Chains A and B, each alone.
Chain A
Amino acid sequence: MTAVLEAHGFGKRYRRRTWALRGVDLTVPASSITALVGPNGSGKSTLIRSWIGFERATEGRLSTGGVDPQKDRGGAVARVGYVPQTPSLYRDLSITDHIELAASLRPGFDRAMAAHYVERLSIPLRARAGELSGGEGAQVGLALALATRAPILLLDEPLASLDPLARREFLHLMVEAVRASGATALLSSHVITDIEQACDRLVVLGKGHTLLDLSVTEALVHHRIIEGTAAEAAAIAGADAVVGTFPAPAGEPLALVRVPALADATSEPIGRAATLEEVVIGHLAAGRRRAADAAAASAEAAA
């Protein structure tokens, strides 16, 4: 497995105080579509911006397609197509102008490909960016990023402000283009259902740390849900197997437990199958609990 995005002991601290991320070790394999999931403030954007050289690491190191973005930002940018949360298009420029601008800035930018993607989405090339809806703006941003023909695609919560149909169209275009080119994509998002369909790998960030890093298939196979408290789940699956508990929309709390893959079809599985959303929530709850325990321990030590 060749890793195209790597973080080794990566940490980023803002204003000499707040650590956005600390001790992050992460590798994103080539030709994968990896979902980066985590609550607000978990450091997803910081990590993505650091891979493109927009942020400087406080500690540790990063690699973007084999290049250290801190030492060679231009090299990192040249390997990346980037789509931010807000498309940040020039309001007064037309889509054609954006394509021309991108071509003037990026060697090897594929004008025809950008125009093809935009037209396929029924967005007029002569439309001014200020006239586009949020979804159309995001799609233009994606078309520009794809037309860079970069081997790595970094998507920083581009789905956040899109309606369900626009989200689906965006993901369809992204997945199709990435699969066709063999590129690697990292998509940060809150919307787990979309991720399940589009991504083949899942990374969960919480409180500045990596909480989970494995394939979507493994995440689903190795996790089960038991209805009940942590103690009840521990009684069934063993204390070490309980990842975390979290409230259900109604009724009993839910416990996420880690299980080995079923050895054979005759084995009786415990609990019920977990959805990807439950896997993510379970690990986030576990991360929050660990952070609270660590804070309490450090307060006790200080006292």
Chain B
Amino acid sequence: MMLRPALLSFRMQRFETLIIVGATLISVAVSAVTIWLFSSGGYADCFSSSGPVFSSLCQSSMATWLDRLLRASTSLVPIFPIVAGLLAGGPIVARELETGTARLAWSLGPSRLRWFAQRAVPILAMAGLAGLAIGLTSGALLHQLAPATDLDQSFMGFRNRGPFVAVEALGVAAVALAIGAILGRTIPTLVLTLILVGALSAAIDKVDRTLLLNDSVIASGETFSWDNDLYLESRVKFPNGEVLTYEEAYQTHPEVQMGWDGNGPPPFEDVVVSIPGARYHEIELRESVAVGALAVVFVALAAFAVARRRPR
């Protein structure tokens, strides 16, 4: 019973659906071929150690090309949820209000929330699934680039792989959906959503950083792993166990600014405030829940706007 309205919803957003699904399918297909070439051609060995491998295979143009493709693919991942979310969520209500089709739909259906669910759920699900596909693909690509790293125990590609990409796409789509329902104009919706998503990301980053700092550990240069742990900031540790930021240390311990002259034991130690890689899934889940909750709030806001507003 719900299949037909879902299909109609996709047809109403034919252009956006084509771009999102097309980009996802192309990305997944290209990645799959690249991974297959990587594995079957023996190129995986070229990335098994941390430094460059000097072999004829690893120096071949094919290896260079595959390496570039992998890195380019993973570097595009952060953009995907924003583009997919904007294209999916923005037009759902905004375009209907702009073109007047909302008036037809709202005069036919006694329940606007039913209309809203029929319109929004399939499109949001598409954005989420596309994000999930990209996130999982990104994880697989990262695994090729760093085969020695256990991605389940590592912050490598943090926020740019796995289910978080799907949640991020849903979050952006939900914000665009709500703004579209309030403004009722597609282009201003896309512009304002970009601005709001930027502002929200900055605010979330700030809150998240505070939470992460509370959860962090102090790692020395020997115990900190750049491949696995999440770097937050560098600090200075003194022999009495005091740990200060560099700004604090410059004020209270001027010798830090002068540096260590190499004579005697060092008067301080550079340490790293970080989250151990073992906590990757816990932190990823926490951030996913936070962004997901925000998405729910914006979807509810959109539903409220749809229920309250008058069609053009």
Contacts and interface: CB of A to CB of B under 8 A. Distances in A.
A52 B103 CA distance: 11
A245 interface: no
Given A54-B310, A55-B310, A105-B115, A78 B8 contact: no
A100 B4 contact: yes
A97 interface: yes
A74 B110 contact: yes
B108 A49 contact: no
A90 B103 contact: no
B106 A86 contact: no
Contact of B99 (A80, A88, A97): A88
Contacts of A49: 310
B66 interface: no
A297 interface: no
Interface in B185-239: none
Contact of B108 (A54, A75, A86, A105): A105
A106 B107 CA distance: 9
A93 interface: yes
A106 B104 contact: no
B12 A90 contact: yes
Interface in B95-127: 99-101, 103-111, 114-115, 118
Interface in B57-106: 99-101, 103-106
B12 A77 contact: no
Interface string A252-276: 0000000000000000000000000
B11 A77 contact: no
Interface in A71-97: 74-75, 77-78, 80-82, 84, 86-93, 97
Classify chain A: how many residues form its interface, as a range. 20 to 34
Contact of B110 (A78, A91, A100, A145): A78
A101 interface: yes
A55 B12 CA distance: 26
Contact of A77 (B5, B14, B100, B110): B110
B311 interface: yes
A77 B311 CA distance: 14
Interface in A99-123: 100-102, 104-107, 109
Contacts of B108: 77, 101-102, 105-106, 109, 144, 148
A102 B108 CA distance: 6
Nearest to A105: B109
Nearest to A91: B99
Given A74-B110, A101-B5, A105-B108, A92 B11 contact: yes
B85 to A, nearest CB: 22
Interface in B1-28: 4-5, 8, 11-12, 14
B94 to A, nearest CB: 15
Contacts of A78: 110
A141 interface: yes
B107 A77 contact: yes
Contacts of B311: 54
A99 to B, nearest CB: 11
B12 A92 contact: yes
Contacts of A80: 107
In order of increasing CB-CB distance, the 5 nearest A-B pairs are A105-B109, A88-B100, A82-B107, A74-B110, A78-B110
Interface of A: 49, 52, 54-56, 74-75, 77-78, 80-82, 84, 86-93, 97, 100-102, 104-107, 109, 141, 144-145, 148
Interface of B: 4-5, 8, 11-12, 14, 99-101, 103-111, 114-115, 118, 310-311
Given A77-B107, A88-B101, 11 more contacts: A54-B103, A54-B106, A54-B311, A74-B111, A77-B110, A88-B103, A89-B101, A90-B104, A93-B11, A104-B118, A105-B108
